[in-house]
Amino acid sequence: MNTTTQIPENMELVYQYPDSMTKTYTHYCPGCVHGIVHRLVGEVLDELDLREKSIGVAPVGCSVLIYNYFNVDFVEAAHGRAPAMATGLKRTNPDKFIFTYQGDGDLAAIGTAEIIHAANRGELISTVFINNAIYGMTGGQMAPTTLPGMKTTSSPGGRDCKIAGYPIKMSEILAQTEGAAYITREAGTDIRSIRKLKKAIKRAFLTQIEGLGFSCVEVLANCPTNWNMDPWESMLWSKEQMTPYFPLGTYKMREEVKALKV
């Protein structure tokens, strides 16, 4: 943790920026879960002393500028290709900590092949996957994870699964791959879930450090702007509408991963 801050004698330090993060404002919309998840990633990087070992892989989507918020080396991938870039990085830098941070359009549509094969190879990388059921950055189009009947700018009458297919369940799919060591779906929309989410991110990162295989933490998130809701309403909607279709839980956890002290 940051040791440079001067704390007055009569006060106790209770909260500060993680060393792994930069002291800046983010570009995210008010109430967006990205900020929370960034913070958790930063805290875990600090706690595991990974800052100087880390190379992050940024996606295309709302978190395309994630490298502005982390005090670590970063590369900016093409849409969906973060797991391939991470593979190239990890194979040539096995002593480094490589993580990708991807949204649902990036990971579950255009980059489906890359994530499945990275998982199946047991690539020693960790992925944080933000699922908010919509394309945020491009203005609210239908995502591969958009719920049935959900209205978006490209499904104005609501997602018709007969035309557009069904919301894809990535954690369930990734868990099928032999190379995956730890696959879990968490939520970032209430305090209890957020605490659990942090532990999951830590377990995922430790999975890589211990060389146990591929790890991915899916986070059910929100998009107040493109869902046309206020932040509070969007948190509730995520919990009430997304969770039934995308059940929370650990979809794969190898015994060695279970044994990790988190």
Partner 1 sequence: MTKELLKGNVAFAEAAVRNGLQAYFGYPITPQSEALEHFSGRMIELDRVFLQAESEVAAINMVYGAASSGVRVMTSTSGPGLALMAEGLSYIAGSEIPVVVVNMMRGGPGLGNIQPSQADYNFMTKSAGHGNFHPLVLAPANIQEIIDMVGLAFELAEKYRTLVMIAGDGSIGQMMEAAELPPMQEISTARPAWAVTGAVGRAPNLITSLYLGAEKLEKVNIRLQQKLATIEENEIRWQEYETEDAELLLVAYGTVGRICISVLRAARQQGLKVGLLRPQTLWPFPTARINELAAQMQGVLVAEMSAGQMLVDVEHAVAGKTPVRFYGRMGGVIPMSAEILEAVKQVQEEVS
147, HSE (Cβ side, Cα atoms, 13 Å)? 18
Which lies closer to partner 1 via its Cβ, residue 48 or residue 248? 48
Residue owning tokens 């094969």: 117
Which of residues 1, 113, 161, 262 is near partner 1 by CB under 8 A?
113
Query: Nearest CA to 218 among 126, 154, 138, 80?
Result: 126
Residue 87 makes contact with partner 1 by CB under 8 A? yes
**Number of residues engaging partner 1 in binding (CB under 8 A):** 32
Residue 7 makes contact with partner 1 by CB under 8 A? no
Which of residues 31, 88, 148, 179 is near partner 1 by CB under 8 A?
88
Instruction: Give the separation between CA 15 and CA 6, rounded to whole angstroms.
Output: 13
Angle between helices 191-209 and 34-47 (to 10 degrees): 40
Which token pair is 252?
């794969």
Residue 24 makes contact with partner 1 by CB under 8 A? no
Which lies closer to partner 1 via its Cβ, residue 125 or residue 175? 125
Instruction: Give the separation between CA 91 and CA 11, rounded to whole angstroms.
Output: 47
Shortest CB 163 distance to partner 1, Å: 27
Shortest CB 123 distance to partner 1, Å: 10
Q: Phi and psi (nearest 5°) for 2? A: -60, 125
Residue 38 makes contact with partner 1 by CB under 8 A? no
Contact in structure between 196 and 163 (CB atoms under 8 Å): no
Instruction: Give the separation between CA 31 and CA 34, rounded to whole angstroms.
Output: 9
Binding mask 39-78 for partner 1 (x = CB under 8 A): ------------xxxxx-xx-----x--x--xxxxxxxxx
Residue 92 makes contact with partner 1 by CB under 8 A? yes
Shortest CB 170 distance to partner 1, Å: 17
Shortest CB 29 distance to partner 1, Å: 17
Number of residues that this document lists for the chain: 262
Q: Which residues bind partner 1 (CB under 8 A)?
A: 51-55, 57-58, 64, 67, 70-78, 81, 84-89, 91-93, 96, 113-114, 117
